[in-house]
């Protein structure tokens, strides 16, 4: 059996590590894009104000789907970090 040179082994591990990180990032993005809109979330969980279904916290944080200033916003629970819903922020033109 031939031995693989060390630099080739390091490069292969680096490549597969990068591919694994990209795959996890892509899955996270798909999960965020599949979140329900705010109105659908409230209707599904019979709520008047949004609350986390895992810990019942009403404290939320929001971030852009693709970047910080993206009008498509993702809302997550501050306490347990569960993704809740998405909405579109009106842009100021």
pLDDT tens profile 35-72: 999 999 999 999 999 999 999 899 999 998 888 788 89
Percent of the chain with pLDDT over 70: 96
Q: What is the band of 93 on the pLDDT scale with cuts at 50, 70, 90?
A: low
Write the class of the CATH domain 35-93.
mainly beta
What does the pLDDT read at residue 90?
Answer: 81
- What is the pTM for the complete model shown? 0.75
Residue among 43, 37, 31, 38 at smallest CA distance from 82: 31
Residue 68 to residue 53: CA distance in whole angstroms:
25
- The tokens describing 25, both together, are 């990032």
Q: Tell me the Ramachandran region of residue 70: left when phi exceeds 0, alpha when psi lies from -120 to 50, beta otherwise.
A: beta
What does the pLDDT read at residue 33?
Answer: 93
What does the pLDDT read at residue 65?
Answer: 85
């Amino acid at each position: 059996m031939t031995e693989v040179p060390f630099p080739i082994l390091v490069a292969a591990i680096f490549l597969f590590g990068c591919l694994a990180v990209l795959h996890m990032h892509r899955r996270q993005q798909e999960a965020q894009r599949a979140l329900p809109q705010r109105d659908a979330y409230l209707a599904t969980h019979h709520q008047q104000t949004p609350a986390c279904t895992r810990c019942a916290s009403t404290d939320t944080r929001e971030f852009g789907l693709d970047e910080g200033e993206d009008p498509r916003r993702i809302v997550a629970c501050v306490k347990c970090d569960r993704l809740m819903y998405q909405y579109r922020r009106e842009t100021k033109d």
